[in-house]
Amino acid sequence: MSRKTYKKEVMGETWYTTDYPHIVFEDSPAGRLKKEVWEASIEEIDKILEEYELPRESELGKAGCYIQNTPRHIAMAKRRKNDVVLIPIGTTENHGMHNPSGLDTYMVTQICEGVRRYTAKKGFEVSLALPPLNYGGHPYHHVAMPGTYMVTEEVVRETLIYMMLGLWDDGYRKFILVNNHGHKWMLESAVQEFFKRYQLPAIVSELEWHRAIREFWIPIDEPDSLTTHFVHADEAETAVANFLFGDMVDMSVCVDSQPVSVALKKHYDTSVDSYGRPHTWSEGEGQNLIERWGTPEGVVGYPSRGDAYKAKRPIAAICKYITLMIEDMLENYPAGTAPVEGFTTRPASEVAGCFKEPLSEGWVSVHELPKRGIFNH
């Protein structure tokens, strides 16, 4: 077997198949991008990562990297060229004794930081917002697990809604919520409620970055491939951690562990839906023991196999995909614009003042707009 792809026409649509039945690429901008990364040589992957300057130390505290640590006049100048904001979303969660509990946050922020560096070099630097959720929502099976700090779904949803409202009032019109944690349904709820409650012209996408490039987590017969499917704190996540922030990982205490399934075995999929099974992992509870009893190690899989080089291709793929999203948004709606007519019940005249530069003559804050619809309480 190899990384070759085969072009096929099916019912008027073009697809690129591979020697692996679960790996198929659509003939679309996203599909072709992933196909190119999937086919790339190891040397070409290294070159992509070099363009994004990964790995590199965290820039959470580095001046000029996030909206909140950039002088305001500079942040505003960046926004006038590119009003897309990457909102990295992590959590505090037990990922085994060998990993830090902030793994999700460090992972997603460093990916976003790589995209910021790349877009800056290309002349359209994307803005980053500091992570709004260092303590995220969790599924039921995480209860009573030491090292996992849980907040309610309402806190997650409302935090994100008001953060997006603040960004919108500050002139940003396009948000990508880059998620690194298993509370997907809460983020989707926040996006829907934001639009229903305020009916503001914006483009908002909730991106499950692991799922977006699910093809790269599927084990194949290649030297840089994973050997197991992506689950939790396993080979995949440990490989990414070792690649991005290996100094925070201690493999000397790493242990492997498998979940205890009591019903519906193999009905539920892995974390990135790589099998195409009837249910995603979050669509039920009760079929597996909760972590406290089933996997007290905080691990589901084989983190002992998590060599850093196995993370290179997935990280290259997601950086290029996020860049594609930014380019697509700006191509259709340049900085300072957003879809209005037909996208909200608000007339264009009602929000026209909001599109002026904040605090300039004629500018209107979102807090001055009339309420609209039955969901605005």
| 372 inside domain | no
Q: What is the mean pLDDT of residues 143-158?
A: 96
| 2 and 56 co-located in one domain | no
Range of the domain at 168: 52-332
One domain, residues 196 and 228: yes
- What CATH code is carried by the domain that includes residue 319? 3.40.50.10310
Sheet holding 84-89, edge to edge: 127-128, 84-89, 174-179, 203-208
66 and 200 together in one domain: yes
CB 268 within 8 A of CB 291: no
Summarize the confidence of residues 329-351 as an average pLDDT. 96
Neighbours of 334 (CB within 10 A): 12
Who contacts 73 (Cβ-Cβ below 8 Å, separation ≥6)?
none
Query: Of 193, 160, 192, 165, which is closest to residue 178 (Cα–Cα)?
Result: 160
Mean pLDDT across the stretch 130-148? 94
What's the pLDDT score for residue 179?
Answer: 97
**Of the residues 313, 332, 351, which one is the last residue of a structural domain?**
332
- Let me know whether 175 and 277 are in one domain: yes
Where is 110: in which H helix or E strand?
helix 103-122
The reply to whether 124 falls in a domain is yes
Q: What's the number of domains the chain is made of?
A: 2
Specify whether 75 is located in the same domain as 187: yes
Tokens for 330?
Answer: 């700006």
Instruction: Classify residue 160: in a domain, yes or no.
Output: yes
pLDDT at residue 1 greater than cutoff 70: no
pLDDT at 375 (0 to 100): 82
Are residues 261 and 288 in contact, defined by beta-carbon separation less than 8 angstroms?
yes
Q: 126 and 35, same structural domain?
A: no
Question: For 265-294, what is the mean pLDDT?
Answer: 93
Both 32 and 173 in one domain: the answer is: no
Tens digit of each residue's pLDDT (9 = 90 or more) over 90-107 = 999 999 999 999 999 999
Instruction: Give the pLDDT score at 374.
Output: 84
Are both 138 and 278 inside the same structural domain?
Answer: yes
User: Is residue 376 in some structural domain?
Assistant: no
DSSP bridge pairs for 204: 175
**Do 173 and 338 form a contact (C-beta atoms < 8 A)?**
yes
Q: What is the pLDDT of residues 250-268, one digit of tens each?
A: 999 999 999 888 899 899 9
Q: At residue 377, does pLDDT exceed 70?
A: no
Distance CA 120, CA 228 (A): 36
Residue 329 has pLDDT above 70, yes or no: yes
pLDDT number for residue 129:
98
> Are 122 and 3 in the same domain?
no
pLDDT score for 98 = 98
Q: Do 105 and 23 lie in a common domain? A: no
345 domain residue, yes or no: no
The model's confidence at residue 376, banded by pLDDT at 50, 70 and 90, is: confident
Q: Is residue 353 part of a domain?
A: no
pLDDT in tens, 15-42: 999 999 999 999 999 999 999 999 999 9
Instruction: With respect to residue 340, please indicate whether it lies within any of the assigned structural domains.
Output: no
Average confidence score pLDDT of the chain = 96
Give the pLDDT mean for 321-328.
98
Instruction: Give the residue-averaged pLDDT of 136-146.
Output: 95
Residue 95 lies in a domain: yes
